[in-house]
Chains A and B, each alone.
Chain A
């Protein structure tokens, strides 16, 4: 639904990353740094890659032109929400039917029963306080309420003084962690920062190769090991970044569900080991959330926050019909700043989160 963000912020057409010839794909590094001290297991012997990983560059999806895509996306958005909203804000009296429709809009955006109830009450209060009569005015009141609720989530990521700035990414399987890292690398580089990636998903098949492609697309180095120890990879990456004077190191991790307690322990260990490499880090622990997720997203935020102490969220896949309204529930129950939104699978499809834009996209 948020393809229009692209219009606002995107500079150009679908970004074509020039395909890189195979000889150049040397991005996989195998660090010779010994394993971090903490691992009780014998230090994983660094594995020399027999040959640099040859990773083919995937195709771009068969895309409509930029303008067509935008129009299509917006039309869908209008279809999905517009039907409700045309009647809702089309003028006329504010009555109970209208509130019920309002409730429908909020619930179907995944805001959940609790946040929806909160917002409805808030809107009613505004309506009676200001003596609003017209349904047109209701829209303004609703936007105000929603902005008040999720506005505090808008806290842009700032790198501060840390060098390297260590950013650790976590989330459930398939949320969009690796893709978001690929986009973040581009984002930081466009801000003049140098970037290093750590292939900390040592679990899923070909997860490392996936990150390596993103490394190539960005022209940044990827630290990987064959050891299967995510913490060791992260440790190496932080040290390598420091040694090379890299500004930002981003640590990918395997997807995990909060119910998999051993995996939650494993990711805690990744964080502890990062702290061994840099006692001030990690400077950002980011949870990646799929906008398609329903109320379980709240559980995810709570569980990962309890385990790691989250400092930020990325909300991905807002280019679909899912609205990601669960951030309203998150704002109420465990407010963690939303740093970015993902609006596609391309390298440029990442936007800083702007609450007012998000609210506008929901209701305009």
Chain B
């Protein structure tokens, strides 16, 4: 089924479809595939339902640009929305507190809290030179305290001894006192895994939170988690004022739909990804990568890039169609064209997007610097609308006024007009002779740009 989706999107149809719009009918199939892809990725059903409904609202009526199929256009929207929903890129803890800044770890059994505690401690110590103290309050799971201690020793980070005969809140309190007295900047409090429905244990972590008043309360979630992620996230979010999420075991091949479920329920930022058991395995969160992973194909990103490319190509073609249609190419169009080039990453990127024209890109790019583009914009902006429409109005006195307005020399205004004329000529050639002639003309136009 994923192969289906992939295949469906992969075959980019190269025909120009005009200005179709997304309709209920033409997005139905793709929407169903998206729903299935999300479910297969373990995004929780209520979240999938809402997401698909939102996408539909957003997509309906949108113009399908250029050579895209409606399905492809929809996927573009899906990817964009999903990325947006995943939140911002992230890789930092908030440690703005009167030291010690306390970090509290929370989550289900086996989620990866202890390993993540170690990874965080290492990161804070090595990258931010923080004096960190680790403490385990897991008096339930056999050898859990021992595990944290071993990690701390490996990392040469101080740990606060605790014992299974103690109460978790007492341990945390004592560790906090110790951290204060010994000027630790950060205290990381590891906790026992607990089920969201275990009321006694949820009450315990609430008490832990009240005792140590953490600046960061991190919810640790296994990337492999399924539908229940919503229930668990809801319960933890209601019990604790969570400040962030860590998604663990991301080096596996789970698609990680739980990330979206948890994000949807808690609204809290995903701060880190746990990747591997090595204590270096903590990575920043990238919403776009997560979105493409959830959508299920390693090649989704490149696919979307293709879609994007096609969109740009379509815009370029639209511009040229305008010329072809006989309507004159004026300075306003010229400016729009230049702005579009800038948006698309310069001339070279534009040429890359036009089939078979990539090799010309290098020449173009060396000329079309951002600064040059800005100057051109400045000059055209100093013209009156009438002058932009009818460049032949531009005589010496007007040129002087424009040059002064744009803060450039008259020669530069002349050079711009020269370029404009060449482009105009080129556009006419294009309308007669097509792409090949256009490209030949373009070479002549470039110097000075």
Contact = CB atoms under 8 A, between A and B. Distances in A.
Interface in B87-129: 108-112
B83 interface: no
Contact of B249 (A73, A108, A172, A205): A172
B251 A257 contact: yes
A237 B403 CA distance: 89
B42 interface: yes
Interface string A73-86: 10010001000000
Contacts of B150: 205-206
Contacts of B226: 110, 292-295, 297, 322, 326
Contact of B224 (A109, A113, A172, A317): A172
B277 interface: yes
Given A172-B249, A320-B197, A345 B225 contact: no
Interface residues of B, number: 56
A293 B110 contact: no
A61 B140 contact: yes
B45 A110 contact: no
Give the most central of A174, A214, A295: most B CB within 10 Å.
Answer: A174
Nearest to B225: A292
Interface string A270-302: 000000000000000000001011111101000
Interface size bracket, A side: 35 or more
B231 A210 contact: no
A75 B139 CA distance: 28
Nearest to A317: B109
B242 interface: no
Contacts of B201: 61-62
B225 A294 contact: yes
B290 interface: no
Contacts of A144: none
Interface in B224-251: 224-228, 231-232, 249, 251
Nearest to A203: B277
Given A60-B140, A113-B36, A210-B142, A320 B228 contact: yes
A18 interface: no
A175 interface: yes
B370 interface: no
Contacts of A107: 39, 45, 227
A296 B224 contact: yes
Given A58-B164, A104-B45, A174-B222, A110 B228 contact: yes
A194 B131 CA distance: 49
Main secondary structure of the interface of B (DSSP, over half): loop
Interface string A340-361: 0000010000000000000000
B163 interface: yes
A94 interface: no
B444 interface: no
Contact of A214 (B44, B142, B200, B231): B142
Contacts of A108: 44-45, 227
A260 B257 CA distance: 21
B3 interface: no
Contacts of B151: 205
Given A173-B112, A320-B228, A326-B226, A55 B143 contact: yes
A173 B110 contact: yes
Given A113-B36, A320-B195, A320-B228, A63 B222 contact: no
A64 interface: yes
Given A58-B142, A62-B201, A293 B224 contact: yes
A322 B222 CA distance: 13
Contacts of A122: none
Interface in B323-372: none
A147 B55 CA distance: 37
Contacts of A182: 142
A205 B45 contact: no
A44 interface: no
27 contacts: A55-B143, A73-B197, A80-B231, A110-B42, A110-B228, A113-B39, A114-B1, A172-B249, A174-B109, A174-B222, A176-B109, A204-B277, A205-B151, A206-B147, A214-B142, A257-B249, A257-B251, A259-B253, A290-B110, A290-B224, A292-B108, A294-B224, A294-B225, A294-B226, A295-B40, A296-B252, A345-B140
Interface of B: 1, 36, 39-42, 44-45, 108-112, 139-144, 146-151, 154, 163-165, 192, 195-201, 204, 222, 224-228, 231-232, 249, 251-255, 257-258, 276-277
Given A206-B149, A297-B226, 8 more contacts: A58-B141, A62-B204, A107-B45, A113-B40, A204-B147, A290-B222, A320-B228, A321-B195
